[in-house]
Chain A
Amino acid sequence: ETGVTQSPTHLIKTRGQQVTLRCSSQSGHNTVSWYQQALGQGPQFIFQYYREEENGRGNFPPRFSGLQFPNYSSELNVNALELDDSALYLCASSLGGASGTTDTQYFGPGTRLTVL
């Protein structure tokens, strides 16, 4: 096990609703990255937080937002849910720097979001 935890495990929402997913990073790690993994696909990078600031973003709309807290845990918020948001959401923690490092990202088990 990596020491990265995510909650909840599963979540069912309806279109238009808002959702918050949570991630606790591995002890000693200061960077959290979020990924969306649609069924049958590889993970897609959403964004990364380093020391409480967004530090890189993939091709996701602004309705995907996040926070990182002083203890380096993190939240992913998705507003105005769409059917295509149904996916496994993964967070990964690492010991990083502002421009990234060679450190490995360690993944949590994921949150399975279903949008009806």
Chain B
Amino acid sequence: AQSVAQPEDQVNVAEGNPLTVKCTYSVSGNPYLFWYVQYPNRGLQFLLKYITGDNLVKGSYGFEAEFNKSQTSFHLKKPSALVSDSALYFCAVRRGGYQKVTFGTGTKLQVIP
């Protein structure tokens, strides 16, 4: 079985401050990890993924995520938040060699002007 936990339903951050959205996962075998963002009434937009290699992954719109195998975490980060970053963020995991992608319940990011 595989699972994803996003422990915070909502994260509030002031514009210009760094942001972190937390994600921990559970999967047997090698994890493929993903972050997606969803704006109201829209589908999911891909931000970044970790498959193998460097633990720090850089993605779209200035976002990055750090893979930590010992803590089974894949937190999303951005050095300076924008109001336009306000949206719903989903972490997802897939076991290597399998099709099923499991998503977390999402974290609402609110960037305050």
Which residues of A approach B to under 8 Å, CB–CB? 2, 4, 6, 33, 35, 40-45, 48, 50, 55-56, 58, 90, 92, 96, 99-100, 102, 104-110, 112
Contacts and interface: CB of A to CB of B under 8 A. Distances in A.
Contact of A106 (B46, B51, B105): B46
Interface stretch (B14-22, B37-45, B68-76, B79-87): B37-45
B99 interface: yes
B100 A45 contact: yes
Contacts of B98: 56, 99-100
Given A104-B34, A104-B49, A107-B36, A43 B44 contact: yes
Contact of B43 (A41, A45, A50, A110): A110
A100 B36 contact: no
A93 B73 CA distance: 26
Contact of B45 (A48, A102, A107): A107
Given A33-B101, A45-B100, A96-B99, 14 more contacts: A6-B43, A41-B105, A42-B103, A42-B105, A43-B44, A43-B103, A100-B98, A100-B99, A102-B51, A104-B49, A105-B46, A107-B43, A110-B42, A110-B43
Interface residues of B, number: 26
A56 B100 contact: yes
A54 to B, nearest CB: 10
B81 to A, nearest CB: 22
Contacts of A99: 97-99
Contact of A55 (B94, B99, B101): B99
A109 B42 contact: yes
29 contacts: A33-B99, A33-B101, A35-B103, A40-B105, A42-B104, A42-B106, A43-B90, A44-B103, A45-B100, A45-B101, A56-B98, A56-B99, A99-B97, A99-B98, A99-B99, A100-B98, A100-B99, A102-B49, A102-B51, A102-B96, A104-B49, A105-B34, A105-B46, A105-B101, A106-B46, A109-B42, A110-B42, A110-B43, A112-B41
Contacts of A106: 46
A66 to B, nearest CB: 13
